[in-house]
Chains A and B, each alone.
Chain A
Amino acid sequence: MKTLYAILVLCGAVALLPAFVSSGVVLNLVIMTLYATLLGQAWNILAGFGGQYSFGHAAFFGTGAYASAALQVHFGVNAWLCLPFAIVCGAAVGALVGALSFRYGLRGSYFALVTLAFAEVFRILANSVKFTGGGVGLLVPLKSSALDFQFQGKAGFLYVILALTLAGFLLSWWLKHSRYGAWLTAVRDNEDSAAALGVDVFRVKLQAIVISAGLTAAGGAFYVQYFQYIDPHIAYGPAVSVEALLGPIVGGLGTVFGPLLGAAALKLLGELTRNLMGDAPGVSLMIYGAVLIAMVTFLPRGIGGLFQRLAAKAP
């Protein structure tokens, strides 16, 4: 219950932010942190709780983004209606990838490679099909109305991404307190033991990838509204897949707050290195990379794990 209250207090505090902060830069940083949190939460459900390390969450992200953008561009559908549609499309791709790879028992690095391959296939498809605008991508028509999921200022976007992140939090919390979550972590820790105890391993994994993919697709649909543009490289390129997995790994795998901690730490680190080393191109990225390596090496259970260790030491 404590966790649940912490989630609500945290989200409540962020919701009050636009009342006190008007700086677009700050709000943008918060929005991008929450957006990275959402992708991390989605990835964390499948990998952190379920032990299935995907390297191709871009396949779900891009599908969500294109599903929403294409409906708006080609059929003039309202962007709010596109959001649930995008989630369903992403979840369907998740079901497809999951059914194929889990049916044939792919695990570990093999599963990671197959997901990466799926994302690449989608990228190439999006690059060559007219429906997705080919390599040029799709521009969402400008409307600047809240009724069309486009806002004048940043605050509107902040509320939307906050609501999606809250959903991600509640899903993670539910996994910690439900039979399904217990089954999923059992599958992560030992598939054979889980099966012997009556857990339908295939089904549990399939459900996890569907939930994870749907949530990722919501992130894709949000991206399209926020930046009003999508192309194959943004949608299906490896950058999104990496962004989704970095946060939870840095923050703490299989925890409720890990994705948020990781996303916040990475965003701050990125801003910091860029501001300090902005004059020398590339140096900021080198420092970013070095800190990342150090974190993964010395904090194998992430920042969340570090907090736990410190809390255990404190009297």
Chain B
Amino acid sequence: MLQARHVSISFGGLKAVDDASLAVPAGSITSLIGPNGAGKSTLFGILSGFLEPDAGSVSFLGQDVTGLAPHRICRLGMTRTFQLAQPFAGQTVRENIAVGSHLHRPQRKVALVHAESVALRVGLAGQLDKPARDLTIAARKRLELARALATEPKLLLLDEVLAGLNPQEVSEMSPVIRAIRDDGGVTVLMIEHVMQAVMNLSEHTWVLNNGQLIAEGKPADVTRDPRVIEAYLGRGAAERLRTSGNEAHA
């Protein structure tokens, strides 16, 4: 469904993403993991059109979308959320979601009604008339998700939608994400640090380190990969873990 081929981008002298290729099959929940500063969000920026890669190409549903403006990519059916939730602060939850609904619904009233149904799906139905600035972090994350869903995407890019949530909130949010795929039929690519969620939710994982994709596969396999362990814990960590007889946990 989504394919990046040999994508690179650098800022100044720093290669933020270096010759990265990845694929997201339709109907999957795929995750992208990696240590801080690995270039995950930058890669997301390239996939969603916010950044233009120096080299390489991105295709979505067989169409080349490299360097296409974000709103055009969104209209094709790929929408992203942001790591730092960016609500339209002065507007209510309903109005926030309606901005997404408007993509396919020109009528104001129709969009506002649709926004309610989306709020229901992500568990925001009780807070529809609250100004977005009064929401808790957890609710902001839900709003971020709701707005993106309201555009009725075929592929949803979630940038750390679980970060900053406490364990209970994470366990409440995970089924919401799963339902988006299972009931809504939306393919999901998620950047995530919460490994419990990565293991539970995603069928396939890509690992990014220093701008390069170093591993891919089933989450359970990937987290045992020595290269991945070293990326997170430092050189030689895998060796030490094995000799001390511990089971590796990234």
Contacts and interface: CB of A to CB of B under 8 A. Distances in A.
Interface in B142-195: 147-148, 150-151
Nearest to A181: B108
A194 B86 CA distance: 10
Contacts of A195: 50, 69-71, 74
A177 B108 CA distance: 6
The residue among A179, A190, A196 with the most chain B CB atoms within 10 A of its own CB is: A196
The interface residues of chain A, by DSSP majority, are classed as: helix
Interface stretch (A8-16, A25-33, A75-83, A197-205): A197-205
B90 interface: yes
Given A182-B95, A185-B91, A197-B79, A190 B74 contact: no
A197 B86 contact: no
A46 interface: no
B96 to A, nearest CB: 8
Interface string A140-169: 000000000000000000000000000000
Interface string A172-188: 00000111001101100
Interface of B: 48, 50, 69-71, 74-75, 79-82, 86-91, 95, 98-100, 102-103, 105-108, 111, 147-148, 150-151
A182 B99 CA distance: 6
Contacts of B50: 192, 195-196
Given A186-B99, A198-B71, A193 B82 contact: yes
5 contacts: A195-B70, A195-B71, A197-B150, A197-B151, A199-B99
Contacts of A186: 88, 91, 99
B74 A196 contact: yes
Contact of A189 (B48, B81, B91): B91
A185 B71 contact: no
A195 B107 CA distance: 20
Given A179-B111, A182-B111, A189-B88, A194 B99 contact: yes
A198 B111 contact: no
A192 B88 contact: no
A196 B70 contact: yes
Given A179-B105, A197-B71, A197-B79, 8 more contacts: A179-B106, A183-B99, A185-B90, A190-B87, A195-B70, A197-B74, A197-B148, A197-B151
A189 B71 contact: no
Contacts of A201: 71
Lowest 7 A-B CB distances belong to which pairs?
A198-B74, A189-B88, A195-B70, A198-B103, A193-B86, A186-B99, A179-B102
Contacts of B86: 190, 192-193
Given A179-B111, A189-B89, A190-B88, A196 B81 contact: yes
A186 B95 CA distance: 9
Contacts of A190: 86-88
Contacts of A179: 102, 105-108, 111
Interface in A98-132: none
User: What range describes how many residues of A lie at the interface?
Assistant: 10 to 19
Interface string A195-231: 1111111000000000000000000000000000000
A192 B102 contact: no
A54 B120 CA distance: 40
A182 B96 CA distance: 9
Contacts of A194: 99
A130 B98 CA distance: 52
B75 to A, nearest CB: 5
Nearest to A189: B88
Contacts of A177: 108
Nearest to A201: B71
B25 to A, nearest CB: 23
Nearest to B76: A198
A186 B96 CA distance: 8
A186 B151 CA distance: 14
Most A C-beta atoms less than 10 A away, residue of B88, B95, B98, B106: B88
A193 B99 CA distance: 10
Contact of B147 (A183, A192, A193, A200): A193
Nearest to B49: A195
A182 B98 contact: yes
A52 to B, nearest CB: 16
A178 to B, nearest CB: 6
Contacts of A200: 69, 71
Nearest to A179: B102
Contact of A197 (B90, B100, B106, B108): B100
Given A177-B108, A179-B111, A183-B99, A197 B147 contact: yes
Contacts of A199: 71, 99
A200 B80 CA distance: 15
